[in-house]
Amino acid sequence: MTTPDVFNHNVPAESDFGYAQAIKSGDLVHVSGQFSLDGTGDFLHADDFVAQLKQTYANFDKVLDHYGATRNQIISQTLYVVNLRENARATSEGNRAYFGDHRPVSTVVGVAELTFPGQVVETSFIIDTKLTA
Half-sphere exposure of 103 (CA within 13 A, CB side): 1
Q: What average pLDDT does the structure give for the chain?
A: 94
Going from the N-terminus, what domains does the chain have, and what CATH number goes with each? 5-128 (3.30.1330.40)
Give the range with max mean pLDDT: 2-6, 9-13, 31-35.
31-35
Cα three-residue angle 108-78-57, rounded to 5 degrees:
105
The residue among 84, 75, 89, 87 whose CA lies nearest residue 109 is: 84
pLDDT exceeds cutoff 90 at 37: yes
DSSP character string of the chain: -PPPEEE----HHHHHHT--SEEEETTEEEEEEE-SB-TTS-B--TT-HHHHHHHHHHHHHHHHHHTT--GGGEEEEEEEEETHHHHHHHHHHHHHHHHTT---EEEEEEES--SSTT--EEEEEEEETTS--
pLDDT exceeds cutoff 70 at 1: no
Q: What is the CA radius of gyration of the chain?
A: 14
Among 1-5, 39-43, 56-60, 79-83, the minimum mean pLDDT is found in 1-5
pLDDT tens for 70-122 read 999 999 999 999 999 999 999 999 999 999 999 999 999 999 999 999 999 99
